[in-house]
Amino acid sequence: MQETTTYKVNEIELTPNPRAVKFILDQTVLDSGSKTIENGGYLDSDTFATNMFNLDIVDLVYCRENFISVTLQSADLWVIFKDKIKNIIEADLKKYEEGDDEVSSSILDDFDKEKYPQLSDDEKVIIVEAVLDTSIRPALANDGGGIEVIEVEGTIVRIRYQGACGGCPSSTGGTLRAIENHLKSQLDPEIKVHTYS
């Protein structure tokens, strides 16, 4: 992590998940990919993560492009802690060198969708990731969230929501159906998408 970057919160947006709020920053926190930080899942040298989880109310922090999405244990806590969390972001956040691995969507340029059913499960993961990168992830990022592909097993795609999408009421209904329908139309009409927690 670089020690020279300081951030200013330009805007605070509500998300469809009442427990999550999206803090839009004045510059990028990650150049590519996304980063999910959970309690205990960070290095002691990460002052930002340490101070966020020391509040004892934060469930999850999700970073992508120029925003941080913070999910609290209860939506009611935002009334008390919104300014405190904003202050921690502005005082302690440093740019992350790299996010979690994401696949380049350019592999779709020469991909023949008719061959998808014959691919190995590991190859299917790569293709599903690329499709999600081009269409689904940008839409979820607008609401402060993201999506992780856990595995592909035959026609079953198992995903985990990230950021504001985790625990959002629409993530198990409309959003899940939209993701499944998109993958069916882009790759294979037999695809079924299941959430994994």
**pLDDT value, residue 2:** 44
**pLDDT value, residue 166:** 80
What is the architecture of the domain spanning 105-195?
2-Layer Sandwich (3.30)
Query: What's the CATH superfamily of 9-92?
Result: Scaffold protein Nfu/NifU, N-terminal domain (3.30.1370.70)
pLDDT digits (tens, 9 = 90+) for 140-190: 888 888 888 999 999 999 999 888 888 777 777 788 898 999 999 999 999
107 or 124, greater pLDDT = 124
HSE-up (13 A, CA, CB side) for residue 53: 16
Are 47 and 2 spatial neighbours (Cβ–Cβ below 8 Å)? no
Is the pTM of the predicted complex or chain greater than 0.75? no
pLDDT digits (tens, 9 = 90+) for 34-92: 888 887 766 667 899 999 999 999 988 989 889 999 999 999 999 999 999 999 999 99
113, 143, 17, 1 alpha-carbon torsion, rounded to 10°: 100
Residue 107 has pLDDT above 80, yes or no: no
Q: Where are the domains of the chain?
A: 9-92, 105-195
**pLDDT value, residue 141:** 83
Tell the residue number behind the tokens 């959002």, with chain if given: 168
**pLDDT value, residue 144:** 84
Which residues are CB-contacts of 144 (< 8 A; sequence separation ≥ 6)? 13, 15, 17, 20, 21, 22, 62, 67, 69, 163, 164, 165
Taking phi first (over 0 means left), then psi (-120 to 50 degrees means alpha), and beta for anything else, what does residue 12 get?
beta
The reply to whether 105-195 shares the fold of 9-92 is: no
**pLDDT value, residue 169:** 73
Structure tokens of 63?
Answer: 């970073």
pLDDT digits (tens, 9 = 90+) for 10-43: 999 998 889 999 999 999 998 887 888 887 766 6
**pLDDT value, residue 170:** 73
3-class secondary-structure state, position 55: coil
Three-state SS string over 98-161 comes to CCECCCCHHHHCCCCHHHHHHCCHHHHHHHHHHHHHHHHHHHHHHCCEEEEEEEEECCEEEEEE
**pLDDT value, residue 109:** 76
**pLDDT value, residue 78:** 95
**pLDDT value, residue 102:** 57
**pLDDT value, residue 1:** 44
